[in-house]
Chains A and B, each alone.
Chain A
Amino acid sequence: MPKSRRELATKLQELKDKTQRGDEKAVAKQHAEGKLTARERIEKLLDSGSFVEEFMLAETPSTDFGMTERRKPTDGVVAGYGKIEGRTVFVFAQDFTVIAGTVGAAHAEKIAYCIETARKIGAPVIGLYDSAGARIQEGLDVTRAIGKIFYQNSITSGAVPQISAIMGPCIGVAAYSPALTDFIIMVKGTSQMFITGPSVIKEVTGEEVSMEELGGAKVHSEISGVADVVAQNDEDCLQQIRKLLAFIPSSAFQEPPRTAAADPPNRLIDDMETLVPEDGKKPYDVRKVIRRLADNDEFFELKPKWARNIVTGFARLHGRSAGFVANQPMFLAGSLDVDCSDKASRFIRFCNAFNIPIITLVDVPGYLPGTKQERAGIIRHGAKMLYAYSEASVPKITVYLRKGYGGAKQAMCTREMGADQVFVWPGVELAVMGAAGAVGVLYKKEIEQAPNPEDMRRQKLEEFTERFTGPFEAVSKQYAHDAVKPEETRMRLIQALEMLATKQEERPRKKHGLMPV
């Protein structure tokens, strides 16, 4: 006797209710590990009550290796769409309480669907990862399904923002999905990412290492540079995603959201003078400068503990979103090296893809010298910055705080690299090399033959500095649009951003450029 529509509806509802309640024991275990469940995470991430779940009753078709008994609705990932601050987003959250969140073919199809649909409708896609890895019981079908995720991640790159939060293990080949997205947030203590696990490493190399030492949040935020943000716990992680999303538009064809600007645009920054010491030898924390320039002192820093000689992140100026790139004199004298070139160029390309203006604060002594850097390929990596800045057609504003020398100056977006507005502070020193070094080469003979070489050196240094390196050279030869006082910098940046808001700049037609990756 076939069941009536009403009976079937009741049965389906029961199944859905049971799925939403989840397995009590597994949920308790998840909580005991300090983790929220996939459903709790989605609830906290999205605007209240906005989540629409899709493919809830999807299950693996596999019957091998005991999967008939183990299979469950959702197939270990909760997926669908909802809203963040009223904007539509797609979200998928791997559910460790269902088949350990392992990635089966049905599971992977759901993820690929989310990314593909987000791209079609022009909405960000957010992935919350927490999985024991690929479900090997399903054999080759799994690798094929995971391949579909990689493909969707890759072709979606630059079309809509993709944000990944690692909230548990994300291991083996599955770790490449977040790696193909724009941002990775890791939860301290409970998240790990690696390609080959501790047991394989032990077998092959004999090396003993824990999961946390191999791929915990500390490793990826300080050594490998894989993670952009470290969150203290699940709740913090979900808040960070909301914060990050507030700076970026929903697709490459939208402007970033603009907030009501409570912080006055004409505000002078009286303490800017003291934040940046006049003596070029003295270091300072450039993040403080960025905060003081920004609305309400707010700066969302990315990769804060990796390649610390350059600072990258988002802030607002009179409500407009902007990406900051700044040399950090606190670390390696703010010089450019392999890792910081990687960090900056990736960030610059993200800003350009999503219509976010780039503000570059320059105080750079040069490239970090040494055989280590040359052998690590500073030529190849450093070229990325030149490429990324030149490629970027969004508004680009450069401010010279103290110094810019040689090739490193070019890598920090000079006017000839396409900066739309260039400002110098009054004490600036711009040169092909440091004045002392230049004088040593140019006046070698005069200094050696002078009755008092030290006096001669000092005199030549003074002449050279005034003639070639100061603010007058920069403004008279149109290297900079204007010299601005430190306290007026915020005001001038806001004016320039407003003027540049309608900027359009075409690039030569081609399939795509060949960034020196």
Chain B
Amino acid sequence: MTPVLSPMVGKILNIQVKAGDKVQEDDTIIVMEAMKMEIPVVAPGTGTVKEIKVAPGDMVDSEQVLAEIE
């Protein structure tokens, strides 16, 4: 299980995948907003999305677990 971590403090804008989706390393999983920019959060490795732990509008901390990939 590989956690997908928030790179910085910010707000979740949208979620591009759902549990069960297959993802490749560096695919965009979630888009955040911080410093007036949209920040893509990418898959740290190739695998299947196990769980999404946040929803659009959520404020997240740096290094918070946003999703799990198996």
Contacts and interface: CB of A to CB of B under 8 A. Distances in A.
Interface of A: 280-283, 329-335, 365-366, 368-370, 372, 434, 436
B36 A283 contact: no
Contact of B36 (A365, A368, A370): A365
Contact of B7 (A282, A332, A369): A332
B20 to A, nearest CB: 26
A408 to B, nearest CB: 10
A335 B39 contact: no
Contact of B35 (A282, A365, A372): A365
Contacts of A365: 35-37
Contacts of A434: 36
A335 B36 CA distance: 11
A213 to B, nearest CB: 15
A436 B38 contact: no
B27 to A, nearest CB: 13
B37 A283 contact: yes
Given A368-B8, A370-B9, A334 B37 contact: yes
Across the A-B interface, give the 5 residue pairs with the lowest CB-CB distance, nearest first: A333-B37, A333-B35, A365-B35, A281-B38, A332-B8
Given A370-B62, A372-B62, A280 B37 contact: yes
B13 to A, nearest CB: 10
A335 B7 CA distance: 12
Contacts of B37: 280-281, 283, 329, 333-334, 365
Interface in B2-51: 7-9, 33-40
A334 B7 CA distance: 12
A277 B17 CA distance: 24
A372 B7 CA distance: 13
A460 B44 CA distance: 42
Which residue, B36, B37, B40, has most C-beta atoms of chain A within 10 A?
A: B37
Contacts of B34: 333
A434 B35 CA distance: 10
Given A332-B7, A335-B35, 5 more contacts: A281-B38, A283-B37, A330-B40, A365-B37, A434-B36
Contacts of A280: 36-37
Interface residues of B, number: 12
Nearest to A372: B62
A328 to B, nearest CB: 11
Contacts of A332: 7-8, 35, 39
A369 to B, nearest CB: 8
Contacts of A436: 36
A52 B9 CA distance: 57
A331 B7 CA distance: 8
A436 B36 CA distance: 10
Contacts of B8: 332-333, 368, 370
Contacts of A283: 37-40
Contacts of B33: 281
Contacts of B40: 283, 330
A280 B37 CA distance: 7
Nearest to B61: A370
Nearest to B34: A333
A436 B37 CA distance: 13
A372 B33 CA distance: 19
A206 B49 CA distance: 34
A436 B35 CA distance: 12
B14 to A, nearest CB: 13
Contacts of B62: 370, 372
Contacts of A281: 33, 36-38
B70 to A, nearest CB: 19
Contacts of A329: 37
Contacts of B35: 332-333, 335, 365-366, 368-369
B6 to A, nearest CB: 11
Nearest to B63: A372
27 contacts: A280-B36, A281-B33, A281-B36, A282-B38, A283-B38, A283-B39, A329-B37, A331-B7, A332-B7, A332-B8, A332-B35, A332-B39, A333-B35, A333-B36, A333-B37, A334-B37, A335-B35, A365-B35, A365-B36, A365-B37, A366-B35, A368-B35, A369-B9, A370-B8, A370-B62, A434-B36, A436-B36
Nearest to B9: A370
A93 to B, nearest CB: 33
Contacts of A331: 7, 39
A332 B38 CA distance: 9
A326 to B, nearest CB: 15
A158 to B, nearest CB: 34
A332 B62 CA distance: 11
Nearest to A437: B36
Contacts of A368: 8, 35
Central interface residue in A280, A330, A333, A335, by most chain B CB within 10 Å: A333
